Structure 1
Amino acid sequence: MPKIKDCLTAEQSLDRIKFEMLVNHYCVQVVSGISLVSIKVKLERNNIPQFQKNSIYRRVEKAWMLEKDNILRQRLLSILEVLELPEKFGIDKDYNIVTLYPQPVLNKEYKVIEVIYKTEKAFLIPSELFNVYCHMEESGKEEKGKKRSKLGRPSTIKPEYIKEWVQLKAEGYTYAQIASRYGYNPTTITYHVKKQISID
């Protein structure tokens, strides 16, 4: 099997096998954490035609974008899991009992490094993760529409589903886990469970 260095000896067009080897080589590097700028510099040093350098870079950039999207989705799901943790109670400076809500503490890469409890219920989500959340909401609605047309599910949620969701939540399941089991959006599950609990 030819080595990557064999591809770089003279400025000539790469055959398909060597081209794919080089693409895979740089994709592995970018997924393992090497920046796109470094990849571009390395590509410029290769003795291959510019059109192939551009093509390789576009493929590597696409792989990087997919990997970045996957990482951001995982970070967002971690944040949502923290926000679903149960509330705690505390005492303020005037000796009043207050409800404390879980808040994730994030590092620069948006990874949850700690959970703290605050009196504010809302959490300021970084804009990059908010965009991912919006995209997930849109794709969730599209998928729900597809499932509805395939399965013929009625547009209203069955009351027995809501009772099952409340039971599962009481058993310790997260809203995300319940949503994936029933094919609904976690926000929908949260809304109906909290509404049912307030009625009971």
Structure 2
Amino acid sequence: MMGKLLKYSIITIIILIAGYNSVTLSPLDEVKKSQNDAVFNARAYAENFISNDVTSLPATEVTEFLSQISEDLDGYTEQYGKRLGISDAYNFILQGTGTVSSMEEEYVNLILENEKSIHIATDFIFGNAIRDGSAMADIGDYQNTMDFNSISVELNNIVREEIIPPFMKKAKVGDEVLFKGAVTVDVTDPQSDSLKIIPLLLKINE
């Protein structure tokens, strides 16, 4: 009897030791870190926005925008523009219709119904105008600034690779173009006569 009891006791001890060794105990901070270290897919995030949110994205009519910033640049940008931190650069989403008057190396020039002109950027697509103007992402929601900045990089890549080329293949002087896009206005140097809109939507009215 004592032999069986000793045998069972030894087996139980062995099982407990084996079970203890199979459990990895990690500090709580390490566990939290591992949960937060999931790889952020900025490309997928940007593609989802372009595919599903651009059409319904609220935008200001470009003629109204130009009129407002010419009358009260500081007041209008402060009230309606979106910026990151304390920057002097304010971002907006604009829409409108214009007629192609010229096709330059870096942009397409459109004449609006009020006879003013704007540029649709077709080259050197960079910056944070889309991300910040649309308010699609909040820096506080991201673990690091690299993830946050990568959103702008991928948005600009999609515009450069997927939105501009089909338009440029068809566009010509005299075409009427429907557009929606993002623009940045620096209140210290607004240059309202040569604003470049980064396009999110370009459609030739045929």
TM-score when normalising by structure 2: 0.26
Say which structure, 1 or 2, has more relative contact order (CA 8 Å, 6+ apart).
Answer: 2
**Structure 1 or 2: more strand by fraction:** 2
Q: Which has the larger radius of gyration?
A: 2
**Structure 1 or 2: more helix by fraction:** 1
